[in-house]
Amino acid sequence: MGLFTPFISTLMAQYQVNDILIGANSTVFFLAIALGTPLVAKILRQVGLRQTMTLGLMLMALSAPLFPMTTQVSLWFVIRAVMGIACCFYFVCGQTALNYFCHESNRAIVNGIYALSFSVGFGLGPVIGSGLYNVSPKLTFFLGSILVLSGVVVVWIGLPNKSVNFQPSSRKGIFKKLTLSLYGAFAFGFAESTLVSLYPVYLLREKYSVEQIGYTFSIFVVGGLLATIPVTHFADRFGKLKILLISVCILIFSILSLSLAENSMTIQIFAFTTGASLTPVFPLALALIGDKLSRNELSSGSALFTAIYSFGCTAGPILSSVVMQIFDNRYIFSLAGLLFVLFMLQIVKEQPNMKSN
């Protein structure tokens, strides 16, 4: 995703596409992920993990390189929708496999390694792709396609070849069991997309240079990379809900302080603590799925988790930008902060029901 997402926006901007259409193109991607989850869950139950995940990787590898081969805005929307569906295939399958094949004693750290791998790839993608993009945009997308295709080899070598039986489950029943986990997925997507999409704009309006903005986001990424494995390890040892509650409390303080900080050093400090406390929320919320559902229900739970996360990513920038326009730029993280306050209260309410965690 780190190779495709930023360079799609760059390519469209270079062809002087309206900012609203560029944003809408990203929205289509996340909506395709969200709306494609019921289809993926159904196919997964019928053909299995390996085959479904391979289908998604092949679809992404074939569709993504088409993006720089056209200048038609309508085709860009079609290609992005197909990419979203493809991404949905291997997101749902990958997350289902994580919870299916791991053990209760290591579920949090397994999901932590998954989140760490995603963050590293997302961070390295723009760095690796930028050099190729300056030569030709097609090269960057071709490299991304090759990397995705290599995932097919990894799936067939590394994914255990075991019989996996998934049964269709009531979406209402799944939702009730996963209320806390799904709330965490939505809040995480909302905050992450707001941070990535709008915080650079906020810093520019505060007269920060492009170099300073880049450094700030590097600090944020480093915070997440350093914290994810230790935090998820502690979650396995001391309880997922306890560690999740601590992370969320630190996050609320950090993310609100980030919008109030007025000097560069303070911003760097809170960027680090925001990254360190926000990034583990995703794997911890994902790990809770395995605690709440039977193995037969994991495909439905993972599909719902991916859909809710995508809706959060879609809603974050839109709603936060409205708040910024109505009130002030410093209210950029007010909605995200409110979501995590409500999440914190829900965790506190849930703890007596999960003493084993």
For the stretch 105-120, pLDDT in tens is 888 888 889 888 887 8
Rounded Cα gap, residues 248 and 159, in angstroms:
33
349: number of Cβ within 10 Å: 10
CB 193 within 8 A of CB 321: no
In this prediction the pTM is 0.79
Least confident of 125-139, 209-223, 314-328: 209-223
- Say whether pLDDT at 295 is over 50: yes
- Say whether pLDDT at 231 is over 60: yes
Token pair 């709008």 is found at 198
Tokens, residue 17: 């596409």
What share of the chain in percent tops pLDDT 90?
Answer: 36
Rounded Cα gap, residues 2 and 122, in angstroms:
4
Q: Name the CATH superfamily for 1-160.
A: MFS general substrate transporter like domains (1.20.1250.20)
pLDDT-derived band at 289 (thresholds 50, 70, 90) equals confident
Return residue ranges of the chain for CATH 1.20.1250.20. 1-160, 171-356
Rounded Cα gap, residues 75 and 17, in angstroms:
13
What share of the chain in percent tops pLDDT 70?
Answer: 94
- Give, in words, the CATH class of 171-356: mainly alpha
Q: Tens digits of per-residue pLDDT, 65-82?
A: 999 999 999 999 999 999
Secondary structure of 117-152 as H, E, C letters: HHHHHHHHHHHHHHHHHHHCHHHHHHHHHHHHHHHH
Distance of CA 290 to the CA centre of its chain: 18
Tokens, residue 171: 């979406």
Rounded Cα gap, residues 225 and 238, in angstroms:
21
pLDDT on residue 356? 47
